[in-house]
Amino acid sequence: MSAQEDYSKLTLQELLGEEKKLKRNEIFAAASIGFLVGVMVYGVVRNGFGFLYVAIPLAMIVGIYRNSQSQKQVLQQVRAEISLRNRG
């Protein structure tokens, strides 16, 4: 679902499913960033600084990080809607 989704129209089960999916994406983003940092470190230690080992993984890390920040905002919206449903 996109960031423009109206979460107030979803059922509680759908919201919980969406929360689970967003948490899984968050873990995948963190693992991907860790892997790319490892690639950078390995490349620098093994072959020195080079475009292939530093710039490309760094650009990918920035892209993943920006996407994860928007996903965190969506996750906050979903959690807020879930807490409203649990109160009411």
Q: Above 70 in pLDDT, residue 79? A: yes
Rounded percentage of the chain residues whose pLDDT exceeds 90 = 68
Query: In 10 A of CB 12, how many CB atoms?
Result: 11
The pLDDT tens digits of the residues spanning 14-31 come to: 999 999 999 999 999 999
59 — pLDDT class (breaks 50, 70, 90): very high
Q: What are the CA-CA distances from residue 76 to residues 28, 46, 59, 80 (Å)?
A: 18, 41, 26, 6
Angle at 30 between CA 19 and CA 52, to 5 degrees: 140
What average pLDDT does range 73-81 have in this prediction? 94
